[in-house]
Structure 1
Amino acid sequence: MPDITIVTHSGNFHADDVFSIAALRAVFPSFKLIRTRDEELIRQADIVVDVGGEYEPDSGRFDHHQRGGAGERENGIPYSSFGLIWQKYGVEICQGNAEVAQAVDADLVSAIDAIDCGYGDGVAKGVSLSQTISMFNPTWQEDTHFDEGFDEAVDFASRVLNRFIASADGGISAKDIVAKAIEDAEDPRVIVLEQYTPWKRTVHALSKEALYIVYPSDTGQWRIQAIPVKPGSFEDKKSLPKAWAGLSGKALQDETGISDAMFCHNGLFIAGCESFDSTMKMAELALAE
């Protein structure tokens, strides 16, 4: 038998209520989910999400539609139901790691809150998770029920949430490795990693001078990658030389004078060689450009 009853609203759903239920799945091994706007069922529920007009976390009430909302972050982004759920359960979902929970909030939760609350400015453009979730709602041409689409959306959101948690945990666990590489760099503009680890957040936090990262690929060759001007940006501090754009094999070897040069992406953000020494030579040439 389900241990508790969770209520969220019926009908059309959005990313905030879908991800809220996905998050609660990680907390409660079993529960009965009711999608309704019936006030009596809402009153009787153990946890109420995105409906009911109350924010009382100690009483299991997590709505943000009431007058005055349910608070906002320091950056001005209001909380949606997902943000409210994450405030209470995020650290628990992340196995007690507050740093991981905070990273997931910054990268996932706050973006969904912003879109749901109409604060989309500053959120990355393109197809968003919120839009993707909305597409699980049945169209007017489909003979399906909203609840079926909701269940499918929650399954999808659960997988996405788990990957965000894993990614955040990996990045935080790699922090010490990247910090030591920055400290040990012979040239502070070129950071060498002995194994690939997530580096962007740490490099941006600890080094203003770094321009390139050099690291081994999973196939044994080596890569050089330009560092973006800020996390998430497609603009690099210093792109690789324009003459290398899109070249590979002999064409790149002739251009660079490096006998084992393999490729350079047309976007000039990554290139590679067979050996470490040759990749460092690429870095030397790029710095001199």
Structure 2
Amino acid sequence: MLRTLVRMAENTAKRLRTDSLPVTSGDAVTIGTHNGHFHADEALAVYMLRTHIPTYHNARLIRTRDPALLETCHTVVDVGGEYEPARNRYDHHQRSFNTTFPGRPTKLSSAGLVYMHFGKEMIARRLQQDAEDETVGRIWNKLYESFIEALDAHDNGISVYDPAGISAAGLEKRFSDGGFTLGAMVGRLNLNWNDPQPSDPAEAQAVEDAQFLKASQRIGEEFDRDLDYYTRAWLPARALVAEAFAARPEYDPQGRIMVLKAQSCPWKDHLYTLEEEQADPNSKVLYVLYPEKPTPGAKWRVQCVPVSKDSFQSRKPLPEAWRGFRDEQLDGISSIPGCVFVHAAGFIGGNKTFEGALAMAKKALELQ
């Protein structure tokens, strides 16, 4: 079994070092990063370059800490002690390094550095637009906040919440979440301390490199899913949400009800952004209505707007007296025909018709 793994790893490593993309006469692009225990940031940095930037397609990869070898590389990430974009050096471990993504406080890792410098090109190629287009910039920012920043924080030892604040509040986790973060997902692909390894250093390095490739591909697949989502689903939804946001007075003079007429779409991010741009604290959306399916006769949902995107707390939950009831029983309690349900937690409900869903939202505004 070990011999088979070694042969596969050696073949993979050979391909990494021999396949190349000619850039100028006789030259080949080589990406250097460190060997040893690998992390999510350099795994993703390598993936983004080799997959999304034409210059690096099929680039060779060298994993080493040898300064002489790194000096021969076209591009170096996460090792070498240098951040010099003009020379394609993207390390963040030097004492003087404090670079952050525009508008964000988190110190960058190699993933953040590569994304900051090459992200707009990746997105522009996906959208087939100019890299300076406003929509490219919007996704560039959003993808950093939703995906890359977590890797930067993880690699730099930055907690999601202020440890001192948590300690002062006496907060403790109620259960284990399994520690399954993006960083942990990559970390689990490192060899275990007691896994059998070849005694020959070159063979052992080949086995380690093969695991790094698996990790780079794995984190890259997750990145690509987010890239696809934000370019193909999230961005087109903005126009629909903006239209619904502008039409709120049709349903409530204070703009507390928003209706997505045709179908549901990713609305939370866009709604919060539109509210910030409007800058009217007295005109917050409390309920969003949308059909369950984009077909005639579909049932309708009434969803409460959370206080923040990832919060389970609603700005104004549906009435407590309605929660946990269904169908005719809920019709009688609410005095609204066609009710389907209201969740026991009060964050969502449903009705057979748009008119019924709107009546539920309007009555919920009056109660509590």
Q: Does TM, normalized by the shorter one, top 0.5?
A: yes
Mapped to 2, the partners of 1:168 and 1:122 lie a distance apart of 26
CA–CA separation in structure 2 for the residues paired with 1:156 and 1:242: 44
The answer to whether residue 284 in structure 2 is matched with residue 217 in structure 1 is no
Instruction: Identify the residue that residue 276 of structure 1 maps to in structure 2.
Output: 354
In structure 2, relative to structure 1, the CA distance for the partners of 1:75 and 1:104 (3 Å cut) is: closer
The structure with the greater share of residues assigned to helix is: 2
Q: How does 1:161-180 map to 2 (within 5 A)?
A: 161-169=223-231, 170-180=233-243
Counterpart check, 1:183 vs 2:246: yes
- Counterpart of 2:138 in structure 1 is 99
Instruction: Tell me the residue number matched to 2:216.
Output: 154
Secondary structure of 2:217's counterpart equals helix
User: Residues 287 and 79 (structure 1 numbering): CA distance in 2 closer, same or farther, change over 3 Å?
Assistant: same
Q: Aligned partner of 1:273: which letter?
A: N
2:31 paired residue number: 6
Q: 1:137 to 1:209 in 2, by over 3 A?
A: same
Alpha-carbon displacement from aligned partner over 1:33-53 (angstroms, at most 9, x marks no partner): 222212222111111110111
Query: What is the CA distance between 1:239 and its match in structure 2?
Result: 1.2
| C-alpha distance in structure 1 between counterparts of 2:347 and 2:322, whole Å | 11
| Structure index of larger Rg | 2
Which whole-Å CA distance do the structure 2 matches of 1:88 and 1:250 have between them? 58
Q: How many Å separate the matches in 1 of 2:331 and 2:209?
A: 58
Contact 1:20 1:82 survives alignment (8 Å)? yes
- Structure 1 segment 117-156 matched on structure 2, within 5 A: 117-122=156-161, 127-143=180-196, 145-156=207-218
Q: Tell me the equivalent position of 1:205.
A: 273
CA contact (8 A) 1:226 1:238 kept: yes
Change (3 A) 1:10 1:267: farther
Q: Is the 8 A contact 1:63 1:70 kept in 2?
A: no
Task: Give yes or no for the alignment of 1:264 onto 2:355.
Answer: no
Structure 2 Cα separation of the partners of residues 77 and 41 of structure 1: 31
Q: Superposition pairs for residues 24-103 of structure 1, below 5 Å?
A: 24=49, 25-27=51-53, 28-73=56-101, 74-95=103-124, 96=131, 97-103=136-142
1:242 and 2:320 are equivalent in the alignment: yes
- 3-state secondary structure, aligned to 1:131: helix
Offset, 1:94: 0.6
Q: Report sequence identity in percent.
A: 33
Aligned to 1:116: 155
Instruction: Please state whether the residue corresponding to 2:220 is helix, strand or coil.
Output: helix
Aligned residues: 288
Deviations along 1:73-129, one digit per CA (max 9) or x if unpaired, are: 444311110110011100011123222111111211122112211222349x95321
